[in-house]
Amino acid sequence: MNDVWQSDWSLMTPEWIVLAVAVVLLLIDVAMPDERSRRPLAWGAALGAVLALGATAALIPAEPASILHGTFRLDSFAKAFKLLLLAGGALALLIVAGWNPKEGSRYGGEFAYLLLFALLGAMMTASSGDLLTLFVSVELLTVSSYILAGLRKTVAASNEAALKYVINGGIATAVMLFGMSYVFGLTGTTNLNEIARRLQETNEPYMLALAFLLLLIGVSFKLAAVPFHMWAPDVYEGAPVPATAFFAVVSKTAGFVLLLRLLVTMFAAAPAEGRDPSSLLLSMQPAIAVLAGLTMIIGSVVALRQRSLKRLLAYSSIAHAGYLLAGFAAMSWAMIDSLWIYLLAYLLMNMGAFAIVSHIVDETGSDDWDGLTGLYRHRPLLAAALGLFLLSLAGIPGTAGFIAKLHLFIGLVVTEPGHYVLAAVMAITTVISYVYYFNLIVQLFFRPLFSSAPLGRMSAGLSAAVVLCALGTLALGWAPGLAYNVLAQFDHFGDFLP
Residue 62, φ and ψ in degrees, nearest 5: -65, 145
Buried b (16+ CB within 10 A) or exposed e, 310-339: bbbbbbbbbbbbbbbbbbbbbbbebbbbbb
Q: How would you class 341 by CB atoms within 10 Å of its CB: exposed for 0-12, middle for 13-18, buried for 19 or more?
A: buried
306: left (phi over 0), alpha (psi -120 to 50) or beta: beta
Overall number of domains in the chain:
2
Do 406 and 445 belong together in one domain?
yes
Q: Let me know the angle formed at the C-alpha of 151 by 375 and 163, rounded to the nearest 5 degrees.
A: 105
Q: What are the tens digits of pLDDT across the range 75-129?
A: 888 999 999 999 999 999 999 888 876 655 566 678 888 999 999 999 999 999 8
- Are 348 and 237 in the same domain? no
On whether both 387 and 469 belong to a single domain, the answer is: yes
Query: What's the number of CA atoms in the CB half-sphere (13 Å) around residue 302?
Result: 20
Same domain for 332 and 479: yes
Do residues 11 and 123 touch, judged by C-beta distance below 8 A? Answer: no
Let me know whether 218 and 290 are in one domain: no
User: What pLDDT shows up at residue 1?
Assistant: 40
Q: What is the domain range of residue 230?
A: 1-283
Residues 384 and 432 in one domain: yes
- pLDDT for the residue 278: 67
How many C-beta neighbours within 10 Å does residue 368 have? Answer: 15
Same domain, 125 and 252: yes
Q: Which pLDDT does position 23 carry in this prediction? A: 93
> % helix / strand / coil in the chain, to the nearest 5?
75, 0, 20
pLDDT of residue 107: 62
The CA distance from 420 to 429, in Å, is 14
Collect all residues with Cβ–Cβ distance below 8 Å to 448 and sequence separation of at least 6. Answer: 373, 374
- CA–CA gap between residue 363 and residue 373 (Å, rounded): 14
Asked if residue 136 and residue 23 are part of one domain, the reply reads yes
User: Is residue 453 exposed (0-12), middle (13-18) or buried (19+ Cβ within 10 Å)?
Assistant: exposed
The pLDDT of residue 2: 45
Check whether residue 265 and residue 324 sit in a common domain: no
pLDDT tens for the chain, 498 residues long, are: 445 545 678 888 999 999 999 999 999 888 887 777 778 888 999 999 999 999 999 998 888 888 888 889 888 889 999 999 999 999 999 998 888 766 555 666 788 889 999 999 999 999 998 999 999 999 999 999 999 888 877 778 888 888 889 998 888 899 999 999 999 998 888 888 888 888 888 778 788 889 999 999 999 988 989 888 888 888 988 888 888 899 999 999 999 999 998 888 888 877 776 655 568 888 888 899 999 999 999 999 999 888 888 889 999 999 999 999 999 998 887 788 889 999 999 999 999 999 998 888 877 777 777 778 878 888 888 889 999 999 999 989 989 999 999 989 988 888 877 789 999 999 999 999 999 999 889 888 887 765 555 677 788 888 899 999 999 999 998 988 888 888 888 776 666 666
Using the 3D structure, point to which of 283, 315, 339 is the last residue of a domain: 283
Alpha-carbon span 224 to 247, nearest angstrom: 11
Looking at the fold, whether 290 and 437 belong to one and the same domain comes out as: yes
Residue where a domain terminates, one of 283, 298, 330: 283
Do 361 and 383 fall into the same domain?
yes
Q: Looking at the structure, do residues 317 and 194 belong to the same domain, yes or no?
A: no
Q: State whether residue 416 is helix, strand or coil.
A: coil
H helix or E strand, kind and range, residue 22: helix 13-31
How many C-beta atoms surround the C-beta of residue 44 within 10 A? Answer: 19
Alpha carbon of 268 to those of 12, 193, 262, 450: distances in Å? 27, 11, 10, 55
What pTM did the predictor assign? 0.93
**Checking phi first, is residue 70 left (phi over 0); if not, alpha (psi -120 to 50) or beta?**
left
Domain boundary at 254, 283, 312, which?
Answer: 283
